[in-house]
């Protein structure tokens, strides 16, 4: 009888341990903050952005993202000056970032010393492109980022942009993954403090083709792509920032 009881207990403990292991595996990388401090440029940029926020008189517009947002300082810089030069904008887009890297940056001061009117968020395409994260995982990372923005910047409205199209054709696997993520994250909007906007059609031809004229590598916008972006979001940005139209 004791032997049967002991075997039953061992079986129960084994099941519990397997269950716990499976639960641990189910925590997506996308929601677990992680730095890229092994890359000197990334560490330097993080420190520069902390210093810039601390030195700024005020920040009214915050831009959060990856290389596509980072590119406002490169290919998009002239368009940026035109649309955002007098809006006290602060860009914390970092090339190559996944959702977990944004979370780490938030946890290490990048939302300190500010209370913007609006934060524009567009992140997730590297979760797809670098490791083909399922849409659900990337969406979970974006949800956590939005939660951090709301917690740390309670007076700031958040505009979530749909992840931009990538690859030439709408049948491309990675574009489909991003589209799946967009279908999930649109439900994060409450239209009070969190908003969602999908401008992807603006970048595409009628049949859904993404051309190199807009994004030369079929991922990162050229100057024309940045102008399309700025013009498409402008009415929403002006409204959410409380500007007269």
DSSP code per residue over 141-199: HHHHHHHHHHHH-TT-EEEEEPPPP-SSSTT-HHHHHHHHHHHHHGGG--SSSEEEE--
Q: Work out the pLDDT band at 27, boundaries 50, 70, 90.
A: confident
| Token pair recorded at residue 31 | 């929601």
Q: From CA 167, how far away is CA 186, in angstroms rounded? A: 22
CATH superfamily entry for domain 2-240: SGNH hydrolase (3.40.50.1110)
Does residue 87 surpass a pLDDT of 90?
A: yes
3-state helix, strand, coil in the chain (%, to 5): 55, 10, 35
Work out whether strand 194-197 and strand 157-161 pair parallel, antiparallel, or are unpaired. parallel
Return phi, psi of residue 117, to 5°: -70, -35
Q: Work out the pLDDT band at 127, boundaries 50, 70, 90.
A: very high
Q: What is the pLDDT of residue 22?
A: 45
As to burial, measured by CB atoms within 10 angstroms (0-12 exposed, 13-18 middle, 19+ buried), residue 133 is buried
Q: What is the pLDDT of residue 18?
A: 42
Name 158's bridge partners: 119, 194
Q: Name the helix (H) or strand (E) containing 52.
A: helix 40-55
Name 63's bridge partners: 91, 120
Does residue 19 surpass a pLDDT of 50?
A: no
Q: What is the mean pLDDT of residues 104-118?
A: 98
With H, G, I as helix, E, B as strand and everything else as coil, classify residue 27.
coil
Q: What is the mean pLDDT of residues 113-117?
A: 97
Q: Work out the pLDDT band at 244, boundaries 50, 70, 90.
A: confident
Q: What is the pLDDT of residue 25?
A: 59
Higher pLDDT, 245 or 148: 148
Does residue 21 surpass a pLDDT of 50?
A: no
Name 92's bridge partners: 64
| Token pair recorded at residue 15 | 């099941």
Mean pLDDT, rounded, of the chain: 92
pLDDT, one tens digit per residue, over 179-219 is: 999 999 999 999 999 999 999 999 999 999 999 999 999 99
Does residue 122 surpass a pLDDT of 70?
A: yes
Q: What is the pLDDT of residue 17?
A: 53
The tally of CA atoms less than 13 A away on the side-chain side of residue 193 is: 10
Q: Work out the pLDDT band at 5, boundaries 50, 70, 90.
A: very low
What are the residue boundaries of the structural domains of the chain, listed by start? 2-240
Q: Work out the pLDDT band at 3, boundaries 50, 70, 90.
A: low
As to burial, measured by CB atoms within 10 angstroms (0-12 exposed, 13-18 middle, 19+ buried), residue 223 is middle
Q: What percent of the chain has pLDDT over 70?
A: 89
Q: What is the mean pLDDT of residues 141-165?
A: 99
Least confident of 25-39, 42-56, 79-93, 174-188: 25-39
Does residue 221 surpass a pLDDT of 50?
A: yes
Residues 6+ apart with CB under 8 A from 216: 222
Q: What is the pLDDT of residue 26?
A: 75
């Amino acid at each position: 009888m004791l032997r049967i009881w002991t075997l039953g207990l061992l079986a129960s403990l084994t099941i519990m341990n397997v269950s716990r292991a499976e639960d641990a595996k189910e925590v997506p990388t996308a929601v677990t903050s992680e730095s890229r401090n092994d890359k000197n440029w990334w560490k330097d940029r993080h420190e520069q952005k902390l210093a810039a926020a601390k030195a700024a008189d005020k920040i009214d517009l915050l831009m959060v993202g990856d290389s596509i947002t980072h590119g406002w300082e490169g290919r998009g810089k002239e368009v940026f000056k035109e649309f955002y030069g007098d809006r006290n904008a602060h860009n914390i887009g970092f090339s190559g970032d996944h959702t977990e890297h944004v979370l780490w940056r938030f946890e290490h001061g990048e939302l300190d010393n500010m209370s913007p009117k609006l934060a524009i968020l567009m992140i997730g395409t590297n979760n797809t492109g670098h490791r083909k994260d399922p849409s659900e995982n990337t969406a979970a990372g974006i949800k956590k980022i939005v939660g951090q923005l709301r917690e740390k910047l309670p007076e700031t409205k958040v505009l979530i942009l749909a992840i931009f199209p990538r690859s030439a054709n709408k049948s491309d696997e990675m574009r489909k993954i991003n589209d799946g993520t967009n279908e999930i994250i649109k439900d994060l909007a409450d239209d009070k403090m969190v908003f969602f906007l999908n401008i992807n059609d603006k970048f595409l031809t009628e049949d859904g083709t993404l051309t190199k004229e807009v994004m030369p590598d079929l991922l990162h916008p050229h100057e024309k792509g940045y102008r399309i972006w700025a013009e498409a979001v402008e009415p929403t940005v002006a409204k959410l920032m409380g500007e007269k139209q």
